[in-house]
Structure 1
Amino acid sequence: MPSFRATLQITGLRPGHAPEEVMDMAVAAVGAAHVVEANQLDIVAGTPRITVRFMVEASEHDAENQFARNAAVSMAHGVNTVASSGALRTYRRQTGKWLAI
């Protein structure tokens, strides 16, 4: 199964929500349709960024990419219920590198 990752900048926490809810929501949103392999939080240039790595069921290359994009959008939508966010990016693991799709 092809491996993908979605990254999302976190720009703020919505009132009444705990920081751990951000990653919980991200993993739940992606995990609703795909197998989540890993997740992590990084601070890049002072801005928190979450990453969720997941697998998509093998099919046709473009369809796999679209499933991954849809998963990333679902992740951002879910996270936006507990936090405000910035840039969303989706990557595919190919020939040992993460390539933007």
Structure 2
Amino acid sequence: MPSFQTRLKITGLRPGNPPESVMEAAVEALGTRHHVESHQLQISGGVPQLNLRFLVEATEDRGENQQARESAAMMRDAVERVALTGALSVLRRNRGKWLPV
């Protein structure tokens, strides 16, 4: 199964939401469609960033990429209920490298 990664910048919390609710929302949303292999919070350029790795059912490259983009957008929508977000990127693992979709 093809492996994808989504990276989402977090620029703030919405009132009344604890910090852990951000990752919980991301993993729960993405997990409704795909197996989430790993998830972590990193600081990139001084800004928190969620990194989630997930698998997409193998079909053909175009369809897999489209599924990954749609799922990442759905995950971002879920996260935006508890936090303010910035840039979202989706990457695909190809021959040991992460390449933008």
Q: TM-score range by the shorter chain?
A: over 0.9
Shift of 1:99: 0.2
CA distance in 2, matches of 1:17, 1:47: 18
1:1-101 matches, cutoff 5 A: 1-101=1-101
Q: Which amino acid aligns with 2:94?
A: Q
Q: How many residues align?
A: 101
Q: What stretches of structure 1 of length at least 5 have no aligned partner?
A: none
Q: Once the two structures are superposed, what CA deviation does each residue of 1:23-59 show, in whole Å capped at 9, x if it has no partner?
A: 0000011100000000000011110000110000000
Q: Once the two structures are superposed, what CA deviation does each residue of 1:54-80 show, in whole Å capped at 9, x if it has no partner?
A: 000000110000000011001100000
The percentage of counterpart residues that share the same residue type is 52
CA distance in 1, matches of 2:26, 2:7: 10
**Which SS does the other structure have where 1:98 is aligned?**
strand
CA distance in 2, matches of 1:20, 1:33: 21
Q: What stretches of structure 2 of length at least 5 have no aligned partner?
A: none
CA distance in 2, matches of 1:6, 1:71: 9
Q: Which amino acid aligns with 1:5?
A: Q
Alpha carbon RMSD of aligned pairs, Å?
0.4
Find runs of 4+ consecutive structure 1 residues off by over 3 angstroms: none
Q: Which amino acid aligns with 2:83?
A: A
